[in-house]
Amino acid sequence: MGKRTLTIRGKPRKPVKAPSPTLPQPSGVASPSSLILTGNGITGAVKGKKKAVGARLWMRFDRDGKSEVVELDKSTIIRRAGIPARDLRILGPLFSQSSNILAREKAMVVNLEFIKAIVTAEEVMILDPLCQEVLPFVDQLRQQLHHKSESRTHEADTADVNENELQVSTRGHWLPTPETVEGLQCELPFEFQVLEIALEVVCTFLDSRVADLERIAYPVLDELARNVSTKNLEHVRSLKSNLTHLLARVQKVRDEIEQLLDDNEDMADLYLTRKWIQNQQSEASLGAAGTHGNNSTTPHLFRISSKRSGSVVTSNFPDEDDVEDLEMLLEAYFMQLDGTRNKILSVREYIDDTEDYVNIQLDNQRNELIQLQLILTILSFAIAAETLIAGSFGMNIPCQLYDKDGIFEIFVGSITAFCVLLFLLVLGYARGKKLIGT
């Protein structure tokens, strides 16, 4: 049947077209209209679209330094990284300013102060990348990964691919030859590069906070030593509170690194690239064995060692007990954090010394007040003795001394001299007993 048209006042009306169906967007992926992304960062912003329930903002970096910003919910992150749900709770706001480096089967969960990320062998996902404190980590990560990607591309262009690579006949897999392996040994695995940048940013941040605290602390403490006042005491109290809080933050990161250094198994589990290569080699060997049959030999697989000695040992699987690279990396930042901690302890010792000096000053003033009170008490005793004598003669008791002329001056002078002598005697006794300083 043909299309029907309606005529109104002699003018034909155009047929109404049916709206085209819209395809549903996959869960966990932002639509092109909501985010405009490039390989080097964000070029657009989220337009008026409501955030999905439970979704949070993440930034994804791959090995080449290309990045994108997406909104992902918990279930998508769990499926993508292969981590349990409790690890996402560690990355939540309840565990802010805590320090955890957890090794999982396919990912590494990094929770260092304000840096919260999930690192795999091929990518890293950073939580809340637009925070002011996280931006230095994002910028440094983009610069270093992009620089290393350009270096690897330049080396790949200049190398002879036919001579440096060995192709496995099954499934078209390619495995590196010893020359390629020696080149890979010159740099850390991807996950350790990310961990190194995170530790560097956190250590630099903590060190700068300690430097700011030192710059403020010493003038305040010197002012308190010169003038003990309520205002200066309040400044020192606030300073000491900030110092304790900062020391706890540094101690958390330091203890987490120390815990990793004490356990070689935990450090071995952090080698995600090694486990990824091991899985690739296992799949390649199983595929080759299934194709050639039982009579064919399994292709020789090369081991990527974590040692930087340049030697390559051929083996079917990497050495899982070799954690030298990670141990050296963690030890370097452990020493840096230990130095930062020692700076904080030095400031705290200076605070304790200043408090001791102030307490000594207050004790000295208190002793001087006690001595003054003792002197006044002795003087009051002497005056009370003179008053007692004068009061005794002031009673209406008949006495021959009342009838003598000029006896008043002699009597008053005598009892006054007696009181002065009594005061000096008691004061000398107190000094003899070292109750009053000389």
Cα–Cα distance, 82 to 75 (Å, whole number): 10
Q: Is the dihedral of CA 54, 56, 62, 68 positive or negative?
A: positive
Q: Report if pTM > 0.75.
A: no
| 397: its two tokens | 């008791």
Three-state secondary-structure class, residue 31: coil
Instruction: List CB contacts of 22: < 8 A, sequence separation 6 or more.
Output: none
Q: Which residues pair with 56 in a beta bridge?
A: 72
Q: How far is CA 145 from CA 24, 100, 137, 152, in A?
A: 34, 23, 12, 10
Least confident range from 220-229, 295-304, 397-406: namely 295-304
Cα–Cα distance, 230 to 224 (Å, whole number): 10
Q: Across 39-53, 153-167, 278-292, 407-421, which has the greatest mean pLDDT?
A: 407-421
The pLDDT value given to residue 425: 93
**pLDDT (tens digit, 9 = 90+) per residue, 316-336?**
444 555 788 889 999 999 999
E-strand stretches of 155-255: 165-167, 174-176
Burial 277-295 (b: 16+ CB within 10 A, else e): bbeebeebbebbeeeeeee
Please give the residue that has the higher pLDDT: either 356 or 17: 356
User: What are the phi and psi torsion angles at 368 (to 5°)?
Assistant: -65, -40
The pLDDT confidence band at residue 405, using thresholds 50, 70 and 90, is confident
How far is the first Cα of the chain from the last one, in angstroms, to the nearest whole number? 126
Asked if the model's pLDDT at residue 304 lies above 70, the reply is no
The pLDDT value given to residue 317: 43
Cα–Cα distance, 164 to 155 (Å, whole number): 12
Three-state secondary-structure class, residue 48: coil
Q: What angle do CA 84, 89, 93 make, to 5 degrees?
A: 155
Q: Which DSSP helix (H) or strand (E) runs through 166?
A: strand 165-167
Least confident range from 88-102, 199-213, 289-303, 393-407: namely 289-303
| 107: its two tokens | 């990912």
Q: What angle do CA 366, 370, 375 make, to 5 degrees?
A: 145
Cα–Cα distance, 120 to 118 (Å, whole number): 7
Least confident range from 4-13, 71-80, 255-264: namely 4-13
**pLDDT (tens digit, 9 = 90+) per residue, 97-154?**
678 898 888 889 999 888 999 998 888 999 888 889 899 999 998 888 877 666 655 5
User: What angle do helix axes 190-226 and 324-393 make, rounded to 10 degrees?
Assistant: 20
Q: Which DSSP helix (H) or strand (E) runs through 54?
A: none
Mean pLDDT of the chain: 75
The pLDDT value given to residue 179: 39
Q: Which DSSP helix (H) or strand (E) runs through 127?
A: strand 123-127
The pLDDT value given to residue 360: 93
Any idea what DSSP says for residue 402?
Answer: G
The pLDDT value given to residue 366: 92
The pLDDT value given to residue 242: 93
Asked if the model's pLDDT at residue 74 lies above 90, the reply is no
User: What are the phi and psi torsion angles at 67 (to 5°)?
Assistant: -130, 160
